[in-house]
Each structure stands twice: as C-alpha cells, then as structure tokens.
Amino acid sequence: MNHWILVPIILPSLAAPLIVLAARQDIVLQRCFSISSTAGMLAVSLFLLGQAISGPPQLYELGNWPSPFGIVMVLDRLSAMMVTLTSLLALLVLLYAIQAWDTRGRHFHALFQFQLMGLAGAFLTGDLFNLFVFFEVLLIASYGLMLHGAGAERLSAGFQYVVINLAGSTLFLVAVGTIYAVTGTVNMADLAVRVPLVPEADQGLLRTGGLLLLVVFAIKGALVPLHFWLPRTYAAASAPVAALFAIMTKVGAYSIIRVFTLIFGDGAGEVAWLAQPWLIPAALATMTLGMIGVVAARSLRWLICFATVGSMGTLLAAIGVFNSEALAGGLYYLLHSTLIVAVLFLIADQVAQRRGDHGDSLASASSYPQMGLLAGFFFLAAIAMVGMPPLSGFVGKLLILDSVRASSYGPWIWAFVLGTSVLALLGFARAGSQLFWKPSALPAGEAVQEEVALLPLIAIALLLSGIVALTAFSGPVTAFLYATADQLIDPADYIAAVLNSRPVPAQGL
Amino acid sequence: MEYLVATAVGTLTAVGIYMILRGRTFPVVLGTALLSYAVNVLLFSMGRLVIDRPPILLLELEHYTDPLPQALVLTAIVISFGMTALVVVLALRAYLESGSDHVDGEAAEGGNRE
C-alpha cells in the first residue's frame, strides 16, 4: 500500500493541534507551522498527482481492513488533481492572509488546517459515509473560518450558513441510509457493482437515495434553487476565507462527478445517468440567475459572489452532459473558476481597504494608492472570469461549447453560456469603470493606507500567473483532463483497484 | 413495530422542518435537533428492524442484526450533537451582537440593524 495517499489528510490534522497547543501565543510560529504544513501538502499532492498520471487508481486500506468492509482511500486522477488544486489555492491564500487578516480573530491557522484536512479527505475517500464525515470536518472548520473576525453581519450570515448546512447534512444521512438499505454497502466501488443488481421493487428507494444525494451536493455547489446561502455567506466572510471557500463549491461539483459517474454511471442499469435530466436545467437556471446577479450587484463582493454562482452553473451544465469531452471541458473550467473566484475576492478586499468609507460599493470615489496596479489585476481577472480571449475562461468555455455540440442539450447550453457571458461582461465592465476608471478623473483623496502591504499583492499576482499558466499550458492540461474524464466515464479501473485488492500480510513488529 | 418507527421518523421530520422554517433562532435550533433525531432513527432502521439478535456475524448464527447502521448512527449522533452545541452558541452570539434573535437579523424593538 502507498502510505503517501494519507499524508494530505494527516499533515494538516497534525499541524492544527500543534498550532493550537504549542503556538497559541505566538503568531509568527503559527504562520510558520501553517505555511510549512500547507507547502508540504502541496509537495506531497504534486508527487501523488505524478503517480496518478502514470499509473492506475491506487487503494489505501486503513488499518489493513479488507475493502469493501474497511475504510478506504482511493487515489485516482480526479482526486489527485483536486487535492493539488486545494493545496495550491490554500498556500496562496495563506500568503495573502499572513499580512494582517490572521490576527483579526483567534485560531485562524488551526481552523485553516482543519479545513484543508476535511477537503483532502473528501477528495480522497472511497466511501460514501466517509464522504459525509469529511464534509462535516470541512464544514465545522468553515463555520469557524466564516466567523473569523466576528461582527454582527458575519454572525447573522453565519447562522444561516450553519443551519442550511445542518439541513444538508441531515439529507445526506437520509440518502446514505436509503442507499445502504437497498444495497447493503457504502463503499462507492462496491455500490457501483451492486446498484445494477438492485431488484425491481427497490428501484424507487434507490432513485430516491440517489436524487437526495444530488440535492445535498447541489446545496454545496450552490445550484439554483439551493443557492441562496452562498452570496450572503461569501460576502460576509473575510477576504482570505471567501477566497478559500472558492474550493468549497467545487467540493459539491466533485461529489456530483464522482457519485453520478461511478455509482449512477453507464453501468447502473435502470438508474444510469440518474442526475442528467435534473442537473442540466438547474445548471442553466444557475447560470442565468448568477449572471443577472452580477449585473444587479451594488458592491464588488456581491458581484463576485453572483459570478461564483454563475460559474457553477456553467461548470455543472458541462458536467451534466456526462460524456468524456464535456467532462474534460468542465474540469478545465473547474480549475479556472476556482483560481479566478479566489483572486477576485482578494482584489476586492485590496480595493475595499484602500477606499476607506466607500469600501467595495460600486460608487465612484476619489482615487487611491496603487489604483493602476489594482485596475490591471482586476482587468485581467475580469477578462478571465467573463470568458474573453485570451485567458483560461475563454479556453474553458470554448472546450465546453465544443464538446456539447452533439448532445441533445447542446443548443440550450450554447444559448445560455453565450447569453450569460454577455451579462457577465456588462456587469464586470460596469464595476471596473465605477471602481477604476471614473476615480482616475477625480482628484486624489488623502491616502487611507500609509504603508503598502506587499505580500497580498504578491499573492494576487501569483494567483493570476496561475491563470496565465493554465492558459499557456492548456494543451498538456487538457490532455491530462481527457484521460481523467475517460477514467471517470469508464470506472472499471477504479472498481478493480478497490475490489480486487489483497490486504498486506501481517508482519511481525 | 415498523409502523411505530415509521410514524416516529415521519413526525419528527415534519415537526423539525416546521421548526427550521420559523423566524426566530431558538425554534430553528430545536428544529435541527429534531431533524437529527429523526435521521438517527431512520439510519438505525436501515439495517432492518430485528429484535433480540446479536449485532455480530458468526457462522453458527442464522439471524443477526446488521451492526453497520449502529456504527453509522453512533458517528452521526456525535456529529449532530457537536453541531447543535455550535449552533446554540452561534445563535446566542448573534443575538448578543445584533440585539435581535431573528434569523434574518431583522430588528426586534430596540434592535440596531444597520
């Protein structure tokens, strides 16, 4: 067994208590632990990604209990990619946060590490119930992070966030219970084998369970009509937290991909492609509502929140077609939209800090320090978000549009993606001109911020260079993603890796 | 027995859903607690309802009760207990900070919504 598979989960879960217990008083020490743990996680996940690219899916059986009875972790291309994306995003967000944000409340770094543990676990687990457990781990940490810095607005939004996720967790348990009742297993690969064998009489329960899972993941992925929690939560959260949360909606997307290709995929008999008729209409509505929100938003943060919702719509519409080209396009868009949403939240925070009382509201105020630089950042990020050439948003949307041509949903997806892109373009152009163009004509106000914090700007620049790299290397990236999508659509390797394993023989200690 | 358990789950769920749709935080907290009870009982019955059987698989035993749902319920109870504690504290803090126990932060008399 390859013990490295566990490291992305173990490392942050060791760093977090260390930070709480050993470094509670010393913020510098906390930062050191936090950065080194996240950097270590990135290194290990890159190593795992290399292994996943070159080999078949790998299994890790905890405590050497034979699968499908024990708890299993599975490393395949998708999970390796998601863990790498998470740790890369986390490292850059951390770089942003250590300038000032982590001192505005207690235990930022510990919660951050626990969040990473939950995320890595959710991506690596091969077990439906464990997916629930890791969801809870990442949610508990996210509750703490969301409230970081406190304040009445944050607390009130936090309460709603917690309650909707509690309701989601309850539904998750109901779904897992129902599926277990008709199949007798919670191991995902084992489920994939057993679902086609479910007798006729139990098909109704199985469908119910499967669609309840879709509802749960749709809550996480902010799919209309379950998106209401997202804008207020992300707008109320502090900037680095909102940027890290860019990966949280992708957890929902990941779970939809995993469950509805592996368990309810091609080989599922009567429940094959169970999610498709529900997912695509909901995704189209999500796209529309999100981008209308972008046009209507009154502050930059709300605009980004709605752009997040809209981009989830584009992503899930591509996933909902469930063929390997569309899935590859969707995954490319997933990489892109995670990075771009994060960088937009960070830019919005930099702008808000410099505008004093005006904050991030979309009203013109006097100019402020480094406005040109921030305007440049925003311009690049907005181009990528809207999907204008030459950046990765364009490549992503092009891949999606090209891949859905043959599908019967193709014309709808074309119409909605192109239409909402125009709306997004309008919204972002309006925001940019209010925030950056008009103030340059007004006389300069007194500087709100005396010294320039460099690290946040470096973090933003690095995230943006990630976007540029994703565009420049889109050839190799898409080649990798096509292979990933093939592995997902035909999960025989995954199932074989989980079910045909032999426990390691016991050795004397 | 099936009827009793099913009615209990149904009632708990119905009351729980009603409660989480209320406007003030305290009923919402109670509602999430009730929902978690409902789901725990439901999970428990997922291994089928059996009386007086050991929860263990042995070769000489012909009838046993499924041990896995019991383990799942135990995990779910721990998690939902922790969550309820958290949401109580959160509701209390939100009330103390904003002077309102409405879930949307609408002001009660003397509240100070910005």
pLDDT average, residue stretch A128-155: 88
Q: Is A387 left (phi over 0), alpha (psi -120 to 50) or beta?
A: left
A109-120 average pLDDT score: 94
Give chain A positions within 8 Å (CB) of B81.
Answer: none
Dump pLDDT digits (tens) for A369-413.
888 899 999 999 999 999 988 899 999 999 999 999 988 898 999
Bridge partners of B24, per DSSP, are B102
ipTM: 0.90
Least confident range of A21-30, A49-58, A71-80, A121-130? A21-30
A267 pLDDT band, cuts 50/70/90, is confident
A385 Cβ neighbours under 8 A, 6+ residues apart: A307, A311, A337, A340, A341, A344, A393, A424, A428
For testing the chain A interface, which of B90, B92, B103, B106 should be mutated: the one with the most A CBs within 10 Å?
A: B90
- pLDDT band of A449, cuts 50, 70, 90: low
Given this model, what pLDDT does residue B105 score? 65
Q: How confident is the model at residue B113 (pLDDT cuts 50, 70, 90)?
A: very low
Mean pLDDT for A453-464 is 92
Per-residue pLDDT at A292 exceeds 80: yes
Angle at alpha carbon of residue A213, lines to A209 and A214, rounded to 5°: 120
Q: How does residue B112 score in pLDDT terms, banded at 50, 70 and 90?
A: very low
| 8 Å CB contact between A57 and A76 | yes
Average pLDDT of A296-311? 93
CA gap A295, A420 in Å, rounded: 10
> Are B94 and A173 a contacting pair at CB < 8 A?
no
For residue A231, whether the previous peptide bond is cis, meaning omega lies within 30 degrees of 0, is no
| CB contact at 8 A, A116 and A14 | no
Question: Which pLDDT tens digit goes with each residue over B47-90?
Answer: 888 888 877 777 777 778 888 888 889 988 998 888 889 889 88
Instruction: Check: CB of residue B37 under 8 Å from CB of residue B52.
Output: no
With a cut of 50, say whether residue A335 has pLDDT above it.
yes
Residue A407: per-residue pLDDT = 87
Task: Give residues 165 to 184 of A whose Cβ lies within 8 Å of B.
Answer: 166-167, 169-170, 173-174, 176-178, 180-181
Question: What pLDDT shows up at residue A167?
Answer: 92
Q: What percent of chain A is modeled with pLDDT above 70?
A: 97
Q: Does A69 touch chain B (CB under 8 A)?
A: no
Residue A200 has pLDDT above 50, yes or no: yes
Which of B42, B88, B95, B100 is the mutation pick for testing A, counting most A CBs within 10 A? B42
Question: Does the pLDDT value for residue A445 go beyond 80?
Answer: no
Interface list for B 2-21 with A (CB within 8 A): 20
**Chain A CB contacts of B36 below 8 Å:** 166, 170
Write down the H helix ranges in A55-146: 77-97, 108-124, 128-146
Mean pLDDT throughout A92-112?
88
CA distance B112 to chain A (A): 10
Mean pLDDT of A305-314: 94
CA torsion A277→A167→B8→B86, rounded to 10°?
Answer: 160
Distance from CA of B49 to the nearest CA of A (A): 11
Which residues does residue A444 pair with via DSSP β-bridges, in sequence order? A367
Q: With cut-offs at 50, 70 and 90, classify the pLDDT of residue A86.
A: very high
Contacts of B46 in chain A (CB under 8 A): 177-178, 180-181
Facing A129 at nearest CB: one of B48, B72, B94: B72
Q: Quick one: average pLDDT of A116-145? A: 93
B43 touches chain A (CB under 8 A): yes
Name the token pair of A18: 């260390």
Inter-chain CB proximity A169 and B83 less than 8 Å: yes
Residue A171 pLDDT grade (very low, low, confident, very high; cuts 50, 70, 90):
very high
Choose, out of A163, A206, A216, A228, the residue to mutate when testing the contact with B (most B CBs < 10 Å).
Answer: A163
Among chain A residues, the shortest Cα distance to B38 is held by: A170
